[in-house]
């Protein structure tokens, strides 16, 4: 066999091997999506944000409840002060004055919305006149207040009346200013619960 015939097969084999690719294959393409670490971090951030939102909502609800309770407490205190407001009378009179009527009318809606509340009406007189007369005058004054309330539909059995006459002066002096203050009826809450209506909740 000639050298030419030996070279040709070898050359053919080399060409075939070259065509089959003798070099290393290219590396796979790098991933383009987020890594697992990035996914875990995003999930943790989302959970933290959700927890912070829930905490903020809970704090806001607690704050709203606290403010509402403060409003209710203030409204109850205001209602109590209104119910306990005293009324005054002219000298030797048991008739409800216009000033006393304004005070008593303010008690009516509270008594209507608080049906369990009971009041003791305590009548007083100034020092002029006999002890017996002033006790009777104080009793008439307390009864006038009860009758006024009853005239607006507040049941009389929610009241008790008593008289101290001149025994418990509000101002312990003997002058017209003191006597004016001492001619009065005091309202004392003896039982029940003051109910604050929706309209009263925003009252200062």
Would you mind telling me the total number of residues written for the chain in this entry?
A: 204
Given this model, what pLDDT does residue 28 score?
A: 72
Answer whether residue 193 is part of any domain.
yes
Q: What tokens does 170 get?
A: 């509000």
Residue 56 lies in a domain: no
Instruction: Confirm whether 119 is domain-assigned.
Output: yes
Instruction: Report pLDDT for 202.
Output: 38
pLDDT of the residue at 66: 84
User: Mean pLDDT for the chain?
Assistant: 86
Q: Say how many CA atoms lie within 13 Å of 192 toward its Cβ.
A: 22
- Which residues in the chain land under pLDDT 50? 200-204
The CATH number of the domain holding residue 94 is: 3.30.1330.60
Q: Which domain holds residue 109?
A: 72-200
pLDDT of residue 67: 84
- Say what the pLDDT of residue 193 is: 94
Does the residue 28 lie in any domain?
no
Q: Please report whether residue 106 resides in a domain.
A: yes
Q: What is the pTM of this model?
A: 0.69
Instruction: Give the pLDDT of residue 38.
Output: 83
The total of structural domains in the chain comes to 1
The reply to whether 55 falls in a domain is no
Residue spans of beta strands (DSSP E) within the chain: 87-88, 118-124, 159-165, 184-191
Compute the distance between CA of residue 165 and CA of residue 126 in angstroms, rounded to an integer.
7
Instruction: Look at residue 169 and tell me if it is in a domain.
Output: yes
Residue 122 lies in a domain: yes
């Amino acid at each position: 066999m000639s050298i030419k015939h030996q070279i040709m097969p070898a050359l053919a084999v080399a060409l075939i091997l070259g065509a089959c690719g003798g070099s290393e294959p290219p590396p796979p393409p790098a991933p383009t999506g987020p890594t697992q670490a990035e996914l875990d971090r995003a999930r943790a951030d989302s959970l933290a944000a959700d927890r912070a939102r829930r905490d903020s909502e809970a704090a806001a609800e607690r704050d709203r409840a606290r403010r509402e309770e403060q409003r209710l407490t203030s409204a109850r205190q205001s209602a109590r002060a209104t119910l306990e407001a005293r009324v005054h009378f002219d000298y030797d009179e048991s008739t409800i004055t216009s000033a006393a009527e304004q005070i008593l009318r303010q008690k009516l809606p509270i008594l209507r919305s608080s049906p369990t509340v009971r009041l003791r009406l305590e009548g007083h007189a100034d020092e002029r006149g006999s002890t017996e007369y002033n006790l009777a005058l104080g009793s008439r004054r307390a009864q006038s207040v009860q009758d006024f309330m009853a005239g607006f539909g507040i049941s009389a059995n929610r009241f008790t009346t008593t008289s101290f006459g001149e025994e418990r002066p509000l101002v312990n002096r003997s002058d017209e200013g003191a006597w004016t203050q001492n001619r009065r009826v005091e309202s004392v809450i003896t039982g029940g619960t003051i109910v604050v209506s929706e309209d009263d909740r925003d009252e200062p």
